[in-house]
Chain A
Amino acid sequence: MTDHTATKRVAVGRLTKSFSRRNETVQVLKGLDVSVGDGELLVLLGPSGCGKTTLLNCLVGLERPDGGTIDLGDRTVVDVETGVFVPPNKRDIGMVFQNYALWPHMTVAQNVEYPLTSRGMRADRAARVREVLEIVQCGHLADRYPPELSGGQQQRVALARALASKPLLMLLDEPLSNLDALLRIELRAQLRQVHRAVGFTGVYVTHDQEEALALGDRVAVMREGRFEQIGTPDEVHSSPATEFVADFLGARNAFDVESRDSGAFAGDERLGGWDDLPSGSYRIRVRPTQVTVSTGEETLPSDAVALGTGVVDELLPAGDRAEYVIRQGDRTLFATVSRVEASARPGDPVHLHANRAAAFAYGADDRLVTAGAGR
């Protein structure tokens, strides 16, 4: 992976934005700092209402921030302190809208040509339109009107329109969210290819963690107007910095553990393998796919930690895999296992464990305690 931060294309500093409705003020962005390197695709990931679309609108100029700065290339486009605010049409940004926003009264070619005309690019417009339509494999659609296109085609034309004028920055606002699941995966791969081929700098907004991990050079997980973690897809997936990130990235199983001199306890039950945790209370998060379910009294593998015992409540088949719903007192845990391994039946007592590195422990400060840190 190239080091994108070496040449910054976008720099956001201390960005704040709040909305007021009636007599209530909601702070949507709470002092964000982030930069995007040349050719990098940064994915903003978070639940709805976390501020990711607002950040995108601030970048493009459709929202006016209350505080902070935005630098684009070597130009400052927003500096609230000094009153600098460059309107969207003068920012040299391309954007793919969630519902594509193709203009229905213009052909595909006219749609794609529009940013070239408005930005006063005279040379070889027709050639550029053809070229960029070829990049997204829509060259044959040039004379059609948007309402005649399928959702996937509209999405690709919207991408071509955004790319056409070779903008400094590309913004993509949940561009795949209106497509059905199979098409989404196909277009995700295509988008990745286009990014490799063209090498655009982009910010991509999504609430779909798979999409984020598949597409991003870096992923920024947002929560209530702040970044919880910014890192490579691998980093955020295998070392989620906070419990929120772990939860959002699929670590659904949660329980509390108390580490004492005599060992780690979940309630009254002593759990083996957590020897590295310093004394204190912890919140544990584990992905269902990482939970191993065993019926017999096995010895814990050397790098594993126990997640306690329980009783199988349900076994839900799902194709090649199966999902166990396991009751542990008043807690419920989920384990996704391969179908052939699913030998336990409802009512059976089971032992649960996971690899220590796949069981995320968060201390009182909500920071990840990595395996081996306490030793």
Chain B
Amino acid sequence: MKQLITILLTFIFWTSINSYAQEHNHDNNEMDHSNHEMDNVKITLQEGSVDPNGILLTVAVEGMVCDFCAQAIQKVFLKKEEVAGITVDLDNQNVVIALKEDTNITDNVIEDLFINAGYNVSEINRQKL
């Protein structure tokens, strides 16, 4: 019983530290991530960068519930030559993919890449930068 109480106390201690660390992480992430101002729209990517003359894809994805999902999607897309950068947004269940200038990936290919990574696509939006 004492050991259980110790684990619980450790958990509470750790959760407190974690909450504090996360607040700082968010602050740092906003500074560390690749930030781009385009037409007054601030685009922040977790990996890679935004090509100012490329295409920005916003893909609504089903089944993303954890960081392993996010990591899988990032790994799959960052292998593609056309991809300049990527962000996985678990809060909004979407993935933002920045394509390089003069490159494109069709909706069918995007959908296949997600399916082959284990996820489903419900919507794809494109924005020419």
The answer to whether A and B belong to the same complex is no
Residues of B within 8 A of A (CB): none
Residues of A within 8 A of B (CB): none
